[in-house]
Structure 1
């Protein structure tokens, strides 16, 4: 077998990824470099499909309708994308009915959210499982101690058979200590890893470990796992711990068996990070690897600000932005759009009074989903020539949010909120300090 240890060679322990793939393949051990046929536990799809026509034309059947879910998140618009929502959503629902996919597996308006966030939030993506998503950012699910992999135009055989051929990947350990300073979140971790590791971890799995992991709430872990593609990694896997166990309590749809890396796991490299040493970072424009400290870009004028997308838009992001925006107004030359990541998050934000803060500040709050991250989505925010947007979204590619002559710069929700107030890229630290003082006085 490719990758099998030779006689007399010391056998290293297994990584989390190797253990998950071995279990899914029904074998005792999966060696790095070996080809395995792994059983898929979940296939999650966004609202732009490429396989329905093939299945109908060839009269094919989904391997297990109960393990296929659809999430309406992009709401593609006809002038921008061929799989426009007005035609694609009814097509998905009729296909699901033909295939016997349960109605609850269709996350339509009122229950919808981003296709790789919903599986974790709703208890589909579980520890020890192989989960496949038809979106580039599907590594997000790895925050739940599963092997999560993006698969775009190659999903047909996976949905037909429930299997996926995998070469067991090399893994890199990210060992964390400490905790993040106030005002930083998972996005700042992603930008630091892009800056440090993008040239060295291509195609490998990042596995997180160390005492610092316990300081990261689930929202932060989801944001970090979301960044695998931008970092250059194949995917990201977090360990199962008390934080994850508490999160899954009452959510998990079935029993699960977590995995943990062996103490002598076969990592090709280990990188140690003290989270308390991290700074607020900004990425872009045009190149996600153009990462700079916030201080290097302070004062750049912005005319648009966006809080949302799959790398943000969670309740902790909305709370952070609301701390900055409370009792303040968005600059008159700036339009600020806020898009919760899911319907549940939208409701939680409403119950917590966060939507009132945004609306009072002069922001627009949209329906849940991907929002303005891509210009083909349903969103009121489209950039024109010469505009600069500060955004919490996932990509900073030229033309991503509208005009090819616009700029997208990425930062965490506090930076976006402070910048929306000042009309220029701004430091949120003074706003957060005053918010903390006010909470202590109260």
Structure 2
């Protein structure tokens, strides 16, 4: 049983503690023994169905669409990702994509758009996806080249999106495309594209080292009604960043779940393994590793739930806090998992072993939703902005010095 003592921290309410208990029991019963031998696309769909039937996907939509909370509760989203990630990466992935994929609709959709799509997503009857990345536009969102052209009462989309999670199994996509002649980020807009639209296709599946349902989308004169525009023309970048401001912290939470599992696997192995007449856990080198791993897990949890609590407490943006949580927790999890593999020795690299699976699973989290390098730049920029706002005095001097 993973450590849950952190639930007593003041970040959480009794409702969060109740959620953690219910989801822990559900995840242990449904996802802990999956053998990864079947089709990952089918497994992801089954995860959505199971989570929807159990009511947990209601965390990914607001109350007006049948959701649990009036607005998205980031602490609940983080708890869910951590607990599901502890059990299985695809279970975590399937949960969060319902929120990340529909987030632009939740945040910027009209009442009609929200009513049309969100209830089915919150019940697991429909699957959501976010289509933003392109081959030459990942972290550089302003470089998106997929176009949307106004044509009568429609927009016509052309271009490709790649590295798209849930490509091929999603029913509804939130798509960021270029609309009009404004340069860079100013020219972006967001749209709802249903999977059955003529001119929309899944061009390929993408196989990665930790199997996930990923693919490339192609839009060829794909016509959608003007009613599918999210927000206003030119707000695409704002919509994308507002969505990430909520969900970036949850990437750190997923990494935290992976790290907790790796720590528990390492503790069990070190206590059971006999080396040179004593337990592996009796060696000081092992104890030093465990001490470092446990500290990184707790530090990750503090950053993740600080960011989530700050957002839930009414902060308009948590760019700095979310970037810190995502950057540190994913990097720390990589180190914790690597140490767990080392403590498992040869068995740690055997295909199918939990720590081997975690070793493959964690790597992508250091890249998507803002690479570690991009997040360092974001944190630096935010830190300098706060410093300059708080310290600039007359003639550009520090307000407190000569």
Which of 1 and 2 has higher RCO (CA within 8 Å, sep 6+)?
1
TM bucket (normalised to shorter chain) is under 0.3
Higher helix share: 2
TM-score (norm 1): 0.25
